Chain A
Amino acid sequence: MDNARSRILSRIRRSADKGDETARVAAVEARLQHPQRNLVPERGQGDEAHRIEVFVRMMEAVGGTVEILRDLNDVPASVATYLRNTNRPAMIRRGRDEYLANLPWHRAQTLTVKEGRAEDADTASLTHAFAGVAETGTVVQLSGPDNPTTLNFMPEAHIVLLEAKDITASYEEAWTRLRDIYGPGQMPRTVNMISGPSRTGDIEQTIVRPAHGPKDMHVIIFRRP
Chain B
Amino acid sequence: MQSSVARRKHPFRRFFLLILPLIAILTFLLFPYYWTLVTSLTPRQELYSANTVYWPAHPTLDAYGKLFGQFNFLLPMRNSFVVALTTTVLSLTVSTLAAYSFSRFRYRGRKFFMVLFLTNNMFPTVLLLIPLFTIMRQLNILYTPMSLVLSYTTFTIPFSVWLLNGYLNDFPMSLEEAALVDGANRAQAFMRIIFPVLVPCLLATGAYIFMQSWNEYTFAVLFTNDRNRTVPVALKNLIGQLGVQWEMLTSGGIITVIPVCVMFFFAQKKLVAGLTSGAVKG
Q: Do A and B come from one complex?
A: no
